[in-house]
Amino acid sequence: MKDRGRIAQVDETRACVLLAQGRTHEAERAIRAAVRVLSKGGEQGLLAEALTTLGRVLSRLGNFPESRNTLRRAANLAEQAGAVEDAGRALLTLIEEHAESITEHELLESYDRANNLLGASQDAETIARLRACAKRIVSARRANLPPQRAHSASDFWANFNLFESVHAFEARYIQRALIDAQGSITRAARLLGLKHHATLAAMLEERHRDLAHLRTPPEPRRRSIISVRRRRLKSSKTHPVKILHVEDVPRIAEVVKVSLEEMGWSVETCADGVQAMRTIESSEHYDLLILDDDSGTSISGLKLVRRARQLAHRRRTPIIMLSASDIEPKAWRAGVDAYLKKPRDMDKLASMVTRLLGKQ
């Protein structure tokens, strides 16, 4: 009948079926087509239902920021259109999909609003979802309550692990900072009192990977910025500083490369210990070496340092050991000029490079 509105409703239903079958990408295509059509019409209630489905699909695809915004929009549109139960169900979906990634204030506010909107509902499934959300919120709140006072010192220290306790404490504040910063790693690092966002990026990569989904994916650097920096380097009369960085974790390597190149230095990254050994033994000029002890091969950072100090053209080259392992005494004996612990000292890297190059 060429009724685009009816076709959009069919697409919305089809998206729900595809999502239930686990065919998430197909569901996304179907529901986005439905939303485009319904956005041009005047049926705000139907659009709100489609947006709720889109929000659930985006969450399953891992696009959490857009999912949260879509579900909030769905609830507001449905309430404005007088479809109070649709608005309440959109808020329940927001709680079900994002209870762990929104602030406690927003979580409680969303539930209170959903409870008011669904107060007169007779739908058994909706009532069951409302109760399940309430139980989830109460359980999470109880889990965050401080433990009851121990009856004795022996009870308190039974099965106590300092590392696990500190790790859990650290994770709680990193999660809160990322949520309050709406996924911005730069703002989250500032809230945590870190001098550089690279420190927080390394912590998410190494110790708190389960919180990485709260971070907004980094945007690719625009070509115009890179080309401007290259033109500046070419126009400079002095030869740019060239740094070799050995690191097998791609995200950490990228963080270091970006932060140091912002200072005007040229950074060459090597992810393999064997390749790094060949590079160090080559005649290629480097003003400074940054080495990680764990390079993912049998050739460790300590071996690279010892080999560099045996070569006449590397004997005076400054070397920074950047490692998560407790090898500081061995690193000094091998011949490094500085030792920084990952991720604690990541924000000190640029200043340490500046200091060592200044000595040169």
Residue 159 lies in a domain: no
The pLDDT value recorded for residue 168 is 85
Q: How far is the CA of 228 from the CAs of 184, 223, 224, 266, in angstroms?
A: 25, 9, 6, 14
Mean per-residue pLDDT over the chain, rounded: 85
Residues 189 and 233 in one domain: no
Residue 36 lies in a domain: yes
Q: Which residues contact 25 (CB under 8 A, 6 or more apart)?
A: 61
Mean pLDDT highest for which of 164-173, 276-285, 320-329? 276-285
Q: How far is the CA of 330 from the CAs of 27, 299, 304, 346, in angstroms?
A: 55, 15, 13, 20
| Boundary-marking domain end, from 109, 143, 177 | 143
| Neighbour tally for 246: CB within 10 Å | 26
Residues 36 and 118 in one domain: yes
Show the domain range for 40. 4-143
φ, ψ (nearest 5 deg) of residue 171: -60, -35
| Boundary-marking domain end, from 143, 172, 203 | 143
Residues 207 and 235 in one domain: no
**Residue 155, Cβ density class (10 Å: 0-12 exposed, 13-18 middle, ≥19 buried):** exposed
SS3 category, 290: strand
Residues 328 and 264 in one domain: yes
Residues 91 and 131 in one domain: yes
* Total domain count, the chain: 3
Residue 300 lies in a domain: yes
Calpha distance 349→339 (Å, rounded): 10
> For residues 113 and 76, is the Cβ–Cβ distance under 8 A?
no
In one-letter notation, the amino acid at residue 138 is: V
Residues 135 and 172 in one domain: no
Residues 239 and 340 in one domain: yes
Say which CATH number the domain at 335 has: 3.40.50.2300
Residues 194 and 285 in one domain: no
> For residues 314 and 308, is the Cβ–Cβ distance under 8 A?
yes
Residue 152 lies in a domain: no
Residue 154 lies in a domain: no
Residue 151 lies in a domain: no
Residue 233 has pLDDT above 50, yes or no: no
**Residue 58, Cβ density class (10 Å: 0-12 exposed, 13-18 middle, ≥19 buried):** buried
Residue 144 has pLDDT above 90, yes or no: no
Say which CATH number the domain at 119 has: 1.25.40.10
DSSP state of 146: P
The answer to which of 7-16, 147-156, 216-225, 226-235 has the lowest mean pLDDT is: 226-235
Calpha distance 176→181 (Å, rounded): 8
Residue 265 lies in a domain: yes
Residues 37 and 128 in one domain: yes
Residues 234 and 200 in one domain: no
Q: How far is the CA of 84 from the CAs of 48, 76, 122, 124, 126, in angstroms?
A: 11, 10, 13, 16, 12
Output the six-digit token pair for 151. Answer: 């009856």
Residues 127 and 64 in one domain: yes
The pLDDT value recorded for residue 346 is 83
The answer to which of 57-66, 196-205, 274-283, 306-315 has the lowest mean pLDDT is: 196-205
Residue 157 lies in a domain: no
Residues 234 and 203 in one domain: no
Closest C-alpha among 283, 272, 277, 288 to residue 338? 288
**Residue pLDDT, tens place only, 41-98:** 777 888 999 999 999 999 999 999 999 999 999 999 999 888 899 999 999 999 999 9
SS3 category, 217: coil
